Amino acid sequence: MTFLAHVAKAEQYEIFQEEGYEFQKIANGMRINSSVNRPSAGAADGCLATYDVRREFRRFASEDALVKVFTLPRANESGAIPISPRHSILVVGKGQGALFGIRMIRCGLHHQSVDIDVENLTGFANLLVSLVARHHGLISARFDGFNALASLAKIEENIHAMQLLSRREAEVCARILFGFSSREIAADLGIGKESVMTYRKRAYQHLEIASQRELMLWYFEQPPSLCAA
């Protein structure tokens, strides 16, 4: 949202994706100090409708991203008298095998030079779509942390697959991640508590970490293919 707020001057935004025949909204947000109020129930939104976005998706047949501006009346609190217009700016383009649309809301009261800004936006529309597609791809690829820690056997298997620790070090770290205390790890593995602490120390040295929290962060930072449940 920082990029959209400062570069595109967006006060609100929504991001859509269409892949195959599936159309969905994948993100939305609002600038913290936005002058655009969230619409209350029953109030006129003054926003480009989702079906309009889908229509533009259907019309899109270009290799380059396109930028379109829709000027929409903005109602006052009673929903009756139009005041300063909102400009709904739609950027549509291809990225990572899918079609993405970024719908941004601008308040005409504060941004009079909309045409100039849109011309500038057109210059980096392809970059904007590429960044959105890349970000969505990274978010989609991240594994579910709950599932990644739901099975002791799976945690142990994941750590072994990384081939960074000895078998016993991996077993100790897996049980730490699963929530075992040192005493419980010792009982489960049939070794002394002092041995558990020794294996933990060696493992932490190999991983260049110093705490259970850092062990958790290290585990979550591993490739999703290893940590997926």
103-127 pLDDT, tens digit per residue, is 887 665 444 456 656 777 788 889 8
What does the pLDDT average to over 165-177? 95
How high is the pLDDT of residue 116?
Answer: 57
User: Is there a single domain that holds both residue 134 and residue 184?
Assistant: no
CB 100, CB 15: distance < 8 Å? yes
Residue 172 and residue 64 share a domain: no
Do 170 and 125 sit in the same domain of this protein? Answer: no
pLDDT band at residue 181 using 50, 70 and 90 as cut-offs: very high
- Which one of 141, 164, 195 terminates a domain? 141
Q: How much is the mean pLDDT over the chain?
A: 77
Asked if 83 and 114 sit in the same domain, the reply is yes
Question: What is the per-residue pLDDT for 38?
Answer: 46
95/164 same-domain check: no
Whole-structure pTM value: 0.52
**What's 174's domain CATH number?**
1.10.10.10
Residue where a domain terminates, one of 141, 169, 186: 141
pLDDT at 168: 96
The answer to whether residues 50 and 125 belong to one domain is yes
Kindly report the CATH number assigned to the domain that includes residue 42. 3.30.450
Is there a single domain that holds both residue 90 and residue 199? no
- Looking at the fold, whether 136 and 197 belong to one and the same domain comes out as no
Taking 60 as the threshold, does the pLDDT of residue 75 lie above it?
no
Do residues 185 and 221 both lie within one domain?
yes
pLDDT digits (tens, 9 = 90+) for 21-74: 788 888 887 754 554 444 433 333 445 678 888 888 888 888 889 888 877 655
**Domain end residue (candidates: 89, 115, 141):** 141
The predicted pLDDT at position 42 comes to: 35
Tell me: do 73 and 134 sit in the same domain: yes
User: Residue 147 has what pLDDT?
Assistant: 64
Domains: count for the chain: 2
Same domain, 149 and 137: no
Residue 152: which domain range?
A: 145-227
- Residue 45 or residue 185, greater confidence: 185
For residue 13, pLDDT over 90 is answered with: no
Query: What per-residue confidence (pLDDT) applies to 58?
Result: 85
19, 118: one domain: yes
